[in-house]
């Protein structure tokens, strides 16, 4: 069952209550029109329903989300997919700062750019493994304190500076794959850089294939030499900053 | 009362600014709608606006907005004003009754022309005369507080949510080419009428989201140049720093930005030997003017606005353009609330200034300010 909500002028509490009522009433596809700044859409919701958002949703979109498939036609603001556990977020635009903060599972696809600190404190355990695929470039501190999961940065416009400064600061788990030339960006990376192996191409192709399907933008099959990989420097990257331990 | 952990107050201050770069004026409705979109960011303990171009009939007078706790404070201040100025108009600022706005002070405005002899008495520098006059009222007269004192501009602020403050001051009836706004969530200091943003000096105003950890270092630095910090808030020192760097010392805006949001030492080498040396020198010379801690600010003058983040972007800032209008705000939605279709939207990097000047202006520093007053003194120290 499909239904529609006009979000014009609605406070986030009202809008989110209407979303929950819709879901409880059996809606499987909910279309939100004229969203502008309402926070917490998708907050802790679970199930297989779909939400389509037209406009700019507010901070903490998909926070604590446990399922659902959210598609946004517009940019998203700060704190998108904060502590998300499961589900999919697809953004036809750019994301603000701290995308996927402490994310523990699910998948995010961003067509254009992400702001500062995307993937900060992302973590994985067992089968729960968060994925972020970015079509454009990233702001500073991508993957800061990252403990698990996967970030793929496709740099589809081929920018020389697709990474911001301090990429991977404090990173101690997971992996960031970047499509592009490493040499000009080496200094920005604060974690270990390793080549991509042939065996890793299959998994990358899987998520990049989904990105291509969502946005109709295809970088082609992965050739490992076109990518480099950033991994953690060890279990405790800042150990040397502390005295006597 | 609910204690820590029992209640969550999801707030973090909001800023917004709009300039029509062709100088065409528009009512306060847009800026109120923009800041109201971010209501969740403030908690009702402070809201305010700065407006430029609102007093064309008194464009050559200093428009002084003052809060008084009582008649005694007004009488003391009036005495002091009458000794130093020719008073062209003195009136209550018209306000509307708004249910949620209470405990307001006496809110007065004056349009003033300084008596030339008084300026001569303090060395002939009109800007410095005005700046000292304002800081002396704030420091010496109990219960009087100058909200703004520039030409053809004014600050409208108080305790309440910004949209209620806008309603209270009847901002729909004013027309300006440049508006900035603030929704406050006070962190370390009390919510009071004088402590609401914007903070102003001469025709500078600043609205600020964040917290300046270097406040005391900065305060000691500006106090050496005759600024008095009296308002119990970190934001006050930001306005004095910019006034000092731009008007008194005469740095360019780009240089001043590189002082308050200095690039990290390790990033300097990438900028080439000349630029690297210049920035290194500025950073050493004005080390005490570095603003440490999270901030996003909008600095405005009669000439335009400048929005700036701290170096590692610990507070949000979005910019957008539509025709001759430039928008900056804590959230994109606050811009879309008043301009749905935009030509360009972008997220400025930490330490990267977004500047919107009126056509024909090349600097934020207004023409009445001559600048470069003590450059020799500083570069020789």
Q: Which residues of A touch B335 (CB under 8 A)?
A: none
The whole-chain average pLDDT of chain A stands at 95
Residue B333 located in a structural domain? yes
Which residue of B312, B334, B336 is in closest CB contact with A140? B312
Q: A residues 112-141 near B, CB within 8 Å?
A: 113, 115-116, 139-141
Contact assessment for residue B198 and residue B65, using Cβ atoms and an 8 Å cutoff: no
Which residue of A36, A39, A115 is in closest CB contact with B40? A39
DSSP letter assigned to residue B371: -
**B332–A75 CB contact, under 8 Å:** yes
Residue B147 located in a structural domain? no
The answer, for A195 touching chain B at a CB cutoff of 8 Å, is no
Contact assessment for residue A100 and residue A118, using Cβ atoms and an 8 Å cutoff: yes
Closest by CA to B174, choosing from B56, B68, B22, is B56
The pairing of strands A192-195 and A227-231 is: antiparallel
Which position has the higher pLDDT, A127 or A242? A127
Tell me what percent of the residues of chain B surpass a pLDDT of 90: 82
pLDDT in tens, A140-183: 999 999 999 999 999 999 998 899 999 999 999 999 999 998 88
Q: Which residues of A touch B331 (CB under 8 A)?
A: 37, 58-59, 77-78
pLDDT category at B3 given cuts 50, 70, 90 is: low
Closest by CA to B259, choosing from B279, B239, B277, is B279
Q: Is the dihedral of CA A211, A217, A220, A226 positive or negative?
A: negative
pLDDT of amino acid B195: 86
pLDDT at B6 exceeding the cut of 70: no
Closest by CA to B191, choosing from B163, B231, B155, B156, is B231
Q: Which residues of B touch A94 (CB under 8 A)?
A: 347
**A77–B347 CB contact, under 8 Å:** no
pLDDT of amino acid B2: 54
Would residue B13 show up in a list of annotated catalytic residues for this protein? Answer: yes
Q: Which residues of B touch A116 (CB under 8 A)?
A: 312-313, 350
Residue B241 located in a structural domain? yes
| Separation of alpha carbons B116 and A225, rounded Å | 74
| Separation of alpha carbons B303 and A57, rounded Å | 34
The ipTM, to two decimals, is 0.95
Chain B CA closest to residue A9: B37
Tell me what percent of the residues of chain A surpass a pLDDT of 70: 99
pLDDT in tens, B26-74: 999 999 999 999 999 998 889 999 999 999 999 999 999 999 999 999 9
Interface test with B, best of A165, A169, A188 (most B CBs within 10 A): A165
The answer, for A71 touching chain B at a CB cutoff of 8 Å, is no
Q: Is A29 left (phi over 0), alpha (psi -120 to 50) or beta?
A: beta
pLDDT of amino acid A242: 72
pLDDT of amino acid B197: 93
pLDDT at B218 exceeding the cut of 80: yes
- Please give, one letter per residue, the 3-state secondary structure of chain A: CEEEEECCCCCHHHHHHHHHHHHHCCCCEEEEEEEECCCCCCCCCEEEEEEEEEEECCCCCCCCCEEEEEEEECCCCCCCCCCCCEEEEEECCCCCCCCCCCCCCCEEEECCCECCCCCCCCCCECCECCEEEECCCECCCCCCCCEEEEEEECCCCCCCCCCCCCECCCCCEEEEEEECCCHHHHHHECCEEEECCHHHHHHHHHHHHHHHHHHCCCCCCCCHHHEEEEECCCCCCCHHHCCCC
Least confident piece of the model among A182-186, B66-70, B201-205, B296-300: A182-186
Mean pLDDT of B125-140: 93
Q: Is A135 left (phi over 0), alpha (psi -120 to 50) or beta?
A: alpha
| Separation of alpha carbons A245 and B361, rounded Å | 57
**B331–A77 CB contact, under 8 Å:** yes
What are the contacts of A197-203 at 24+ separation with CB within 8 A? A197/A224, A198/A224, A200/A224, A200/A229, A203/A150
Q: Which residues of B touch A140 (CB under 8 A)?
A: 312-313, 349-350
pLDDT in tens, B10-30: 457 999 999 999 999 999 999
Interface test with A, best of B327, B333, B335 (most A CBs within 10 A): B333
**Residue B296: how many CB atoms within 10 A of its CB?**
26
pTM (2 decimals)? 0.94
Which residue of B331, B349, B350 is in closest CB contact with A37? B331
The answer, for A97 touching chain B at a CB cutoff of 8 Å, is yes
Residue B166 located in a structural domain? yes
pLDDT category at B305 given cuts 50, 70, 90 is: very high
Contact assessment for residue B127 and residue B370, using Cβ atoms and an 8 Å cutoff: yes
Residue B70 located in a structural domain? no
Mean pLDDT of A45-67: 97
**3-state SS, residue B303:** coil
pLDDT category at B377 given cuts 50, 70, 90 is: very low
| Separation of alpha carbons A42 and B281, rounded Å | 50
**3-state SS, residue B138:** helix
CATH number of the domain encompassing residue B240:
3.60.20.10
| Separation of alpha carbons A97 and B262, rounded Å | 21
**A36–B37 CB contact, under 8 Å:** yes
Domain that holds residue B371: 14-61+88-96+152-379
Contacts of B145 (CB under 8 A, 6+ apart): B66, B67, B68, B105, B137, B138, B193, B194, B231
pLDDT category at A105 given cuts 50, 70, 90 is: very high
Which residue of A12, A75, A116 is in closest CB contact with B313? A116
Mean pLDDT of B335-356: 96
The total domain count for chain B is: 1
What stretches of chain B show up as alpha helix (H) in DSSP?
A: 29-36, 71-84, 116-121, 126-140, 162-168, 215-223, 235-242, 253-260, 265-268, 273-285, 332-336, 375-379
**A75–B345 CB contact, under 8 Å:** yes
Least confident piece of the model among A46-50, B43-47, B190-194: B190-194
Contact assessment for residue A81 and residue A100, using Cβ atoms and an 8 Å cutoff: yes
Q: B-side interface with A, Cβ within 8 Å?
A: 37-38, 40, 267, 270, 312-313, 316, 318, 331-334, 336-337, 345, 347, 349-350
Which residue of B318, B336, B350 is in closest CB contact with A140? B350
Q: Please name the residue that has the structure tokens 């920035």.
A: B279
CATH of domain A94-241: 2.160.20.60
pLDDT in tens, B233-279: 888 999 999 999 999 999 999 999 999 999 998 888 888 999 999 99
pLDDT of amino acid A76: 98
**B316–A187 CB contact, under 8 Å:** no
pLDDT of amino acid A243: 67
Q: Which residues of A touch B313 (CB under 8 A)?
A: 97, 115-116, 139-140
Sheet (strand B199-201) strand order: B199-201, B204-210, B295-301, B304-309, B354-357
Q: Which residues of A touch B270 (CB under 8 A)?
A: 187
Q: Which residues of A touch B334 (CB under 8 A)?
A: 37
Domain boundaries, chain A: 94-241
Structure tokens at A138: 């990233």
Structure tokens at B119: 């300026």
Burial B178-192 (b: 16+ CB within 10 A, else e): bbbbbbbbbeeeebb
pLDDT of amino acid B69: 96
The pairing of strands B304-309 and B354-357 is: antiparallel
Structure tokens at B344: 């360009």
DSSP letter assigned to residue B172: G
pLDDT at B177 exceeding the cut of 80: yes
Chain A CA closest to residue B311: A140
């Amino acid at each position: 069952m499909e239904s529609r909500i006009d979000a014009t002028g609605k406070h986030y509490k009202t809008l989110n209550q209407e979303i929950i009522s819709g879901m409880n009433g059996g809606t499987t596809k909910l279309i939100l029109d004229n969203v502008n700044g309402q926070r917490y859409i998708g907050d802790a919701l679970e199930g297989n329903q779909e939400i389509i958002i037209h406009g700019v949703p507010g901070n903490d979109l998909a926070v604590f989300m446990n399922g659902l498939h959210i598609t946004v036609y517009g940019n998203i603001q700060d704190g998108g997919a904060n502590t998300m556990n499961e589900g999919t977020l697809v953004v036809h635009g750019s994301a603000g700062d701290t995308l996927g903060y402490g994310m523990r599972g699910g998948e995010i696809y961003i067509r254009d750019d992400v702001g500062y600190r995307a993937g900060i404190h992302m973590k994985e355990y067992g089968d729960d493994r968060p994925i972020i695929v970015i079509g454009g470039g990233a702001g500073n501190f991508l993957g800061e304190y990252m403990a698990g999961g996967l970030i793929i940065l496709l740099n589809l416009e081929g920018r020389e500076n697709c990474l911001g400064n301090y990429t991977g600061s404090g990173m101690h788990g997971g992996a960031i794959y970047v499509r592009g030339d490493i040499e000009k960006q080496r200094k920005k990376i604060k974690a270990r850089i390793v080549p991509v192996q042939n065996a890793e191409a299959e998994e990358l192709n899987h998520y990049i294939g989904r990105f291509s399907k969502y946005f109709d933008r295809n970088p082609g099959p992965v050739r490992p030499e076109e990518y480099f990989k950033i991994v953690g420097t060890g279990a405790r990257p800042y150990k040397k900053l502390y005295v006597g331990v | 009362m609910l204690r820590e952990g029992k209640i969550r107050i999801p707030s973090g201050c909001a800023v917004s600014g709009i300039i029509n770069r062709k100088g065409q004026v528009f009512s306060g409705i847009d800026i109120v709608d923009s800041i109201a979109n971010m209501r969740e960011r403030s908690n009702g303990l402070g809201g305010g606006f700065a407006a430029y171009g609102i007093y064309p009939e008194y464009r050559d007078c200093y428009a002084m907005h003052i809060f008084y706790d009582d008649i005694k404070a007004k009488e003391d201040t009036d005495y002091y004003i009458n000794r130093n100025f020719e008073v062209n108009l003195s009136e209550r600022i018209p306000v509307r009754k708004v249910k949620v706005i209470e405990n307001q002070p006496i809110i007065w405005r004056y349009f003033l022309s300084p008596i030339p002899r008084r300026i001569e008495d303090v060395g002939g520098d009109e800007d410095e005369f005005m700046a000292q006059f304002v800081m002396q009222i704030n420091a010496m007269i109990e219960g009087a507080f100058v909200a703004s004192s520039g030409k053809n501009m004014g600050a409208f602020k108080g305790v309440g949510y910004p949209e209620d403050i806008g309603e209270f001051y009847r901002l729909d009836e004013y027309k300006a080419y440049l508006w900035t706004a603030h929704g406050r969530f006070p962190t370390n200091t009390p919510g009071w009428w004088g402590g609401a943003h914007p903070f102003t000096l001469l025709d500078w105003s600043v609205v600020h989201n964040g917290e300046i950890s270097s406040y005391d270092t900065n305060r000691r630095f500006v106090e050496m140049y005759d600024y008095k910090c009296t308002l119990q808030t970190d934001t006050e020192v930001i306005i004095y720093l910019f006034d000092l760097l731009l008007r008194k010392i005469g740095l360019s805006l780009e240089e001043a930005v590189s002082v308050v949001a200095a690039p990290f030492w390790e990033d300097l080498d990438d900028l080439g030997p000349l630029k690297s040396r210049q920035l290194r020198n500025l950073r050493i010379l004005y080390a005490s003017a570095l603003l440490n801690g999270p901030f996003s600010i909008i600095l405005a003058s009669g000439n335009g606005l400048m929005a700036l983040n701290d170096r590692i972007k610990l507070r949000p800032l979005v910019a957008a353009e539509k025709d001759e209008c430039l928008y900056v705000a804590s959230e994109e939605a606050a811009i879309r609330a008043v301009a749905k279709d935009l030509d360009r939207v972008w997220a400025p990097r930490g330490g990267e200034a977004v500047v919107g000047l009126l056509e024909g202006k090349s600097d934020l520093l207004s023409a009445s300010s001559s600048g470069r007053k003590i450059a020799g003194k500083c570069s020789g120290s």
